[in-house]
Structure 1
Amino acid sequence: MFLFPGDVVRPRRVDEHFAGEAEAARAAGCPVALVDHDAAARGEVADAVARVPGGATAVYRGWMLSSRRYAELDSALAGRGVRLHTDGERYRRAHELPGWYDALSAFTPASRWTTGTDRRDFEAVRAGLGSGPAVLRDYSKSMKHYWLEAAYIPDLADAVQAWAVAERMVQLRGDDLAGGFVVRRFEEFTGAEARSWWIDGVRRLVTAHPDTPDELPPPDLDLTGLQPAIAALALPFVTVDLARRADGTWRVIELGDGQVSDRPASTPPADLINALIQNFPEGTVSGNSPSITEAQPR
Structure 2
Amino acid sequence: MLFIFPSNPVAPRFVDEHFAPEAMAARAAGHSVAVVDHDALCSGATEEAVRWIPLSDEGAQTNPALYRGWMLTVRQYTGFAAATAQRGVTLLTSPSSFEHAHWLPRWYDALSALTPRSVWTEGPDLDAFEACCSRLGSGPAVLRDHVKSLKHHWAEAAYIPDVANLPAARAVARRFLELRGEDFAGGLVARAFEQFTTTEARTWWVQGRCVLVTAHPDTPGDLPTGADLQSVAPTVAALGLPFVTVDLVLRADGVWRIVELGDGQVSDRPKSTPPETFIEAITGAFGT
TM category, shorter: over 0.9
Quick one: distance in 2 between partners of 1:132 and 1:214? 32
Q: Please say if residues 206 and 217 of structure 1, whose CA atoms lie closer than 8 Å, have aligned partners that are also in contact.
A: no
Equivalent in the alignment of 1:95: 102
1:96-245 to 2 correspondences below 5 Å: 96-218=103-225, 220-245=226-251
SS in 2 for 1:86: coil
Equivalent in the alignment of 2:81: 74
Q: Which 4+ runs in 1 deviate beyond 3 A? A: none
Could you give the per-residue CA deviations for residues 240-275 of structure 1, whole angstroms, max 9, x where no partner exists? 111111122111110100000000111010111112
SS in 1 for 2:54: coil
Q: Please say if residues 244 and 261 of structure 2, whose CA atoms lie closer than 8 Å, have aligned partners that are also in contact.
A: yes
Deviates more, 1:137-146 or 1:40-49: 40-49
Quick one: distance in 2 between partners of 1:269 and 1:119? 43
Q: CA deviation at 1:148?
A: 0.9
Q: CA deviation at 1:54?
A: 2.9
Please state if 1:22 is matched with 2:39: no
Q: Please say if residues 40 and 48 of structure 2, whose CA atoms lie closer than 8 Å, have aligned partners that are also in contact.
A: yes
Residue among 265, 276, 279 paired with 1:270: 276
SS in 1 for 2:132: helix
Please state if 1:85 is matched with 2:118: no
How many percent identity over aligned positions? Answer: 59
Quick one: distance in 1 between partners of 2:16 and 2:283? 21
Deviates more, 1:268-277 or 1:161-170: 268-277
Quick one: distance in 2 between partners of 1:42 and 1:71? 13
Q: Please say if residues 206 and 242 of structure 2, whose CA atoms lie closer than 8 Å, have aligned partners that are also in contact.
A: yes
Q: CA deviation at 1:13?
A: 1.4
Quick one: distance in 1 between partners of 2:268 and 2:100? 18
Q: CA deviation at 1:119?
A: 2.3
- Normalising by structure 2, we get a TM-score of 0.95
Equivalent in the alignment of 2:59: none
Quick one: distance in 1 between partners of 2:46 and 2:181? 22
SS in 2 for 1:213: coil
Could you give the per-residue CA deviations for residues 175-207 of structure 1, whole angstroms, max 9, x where no partner exists? 110100111000111221110000011000000
Quick one: distance in 2 between partners of 1:69 and 1:245? 36
Q: CA deviation at 1:47?
A: 1.1
SS in 2 for 1:234: coil
Could you give the per-residue CA deviations for residues 131-188 of structure 1, whole angstroms, max 9, x where no partner exists? 1100010000001111111111100111100000111111111111010011100011
Quick one: distance in 1 between partners of 2:211 and 2:55? 29
Q: Tell me, which stretches of 5 or more residues in structure 1 are unaligned?
A: 285-298
CA RMSD of aligned residues (A): 1.0
Equivalent in the alignment of 1:288: none
Please state if 1:248 is matched with 2:254: yes
Q: Please say if residues 141 and 193 of structure 2, whose CA atoms lie closer than 8 Å, have aligned partners that are also in contact.
A: yes
Aligned letter for 1:182?
V
Equivalent in the alignment of 1:291: none
Q: Tell me, which stretches of 5 or more residues in structure 2 are unaligned?
A: 57-61
Aligned letter for 2:25?
A
Q: Please say if residues 196 and 241 of structure 1, whose CA atoms lie closer than 8 Å, have aligned partners that are also in contact.
A: yes
Quick one: distance in 1 between partners of 2:55 and 2:107? 32
Aligned letter for 2:228?
D
Quick one: distance in 1 between partners of 2:249 and 2:55? 41
Q: CA deviation at 1:42?
A: 1.5
Q: CA deviation at 1:217?
A: 2.7
Quick one: distance in 2 between partners of 1:248 and 1:231? 23
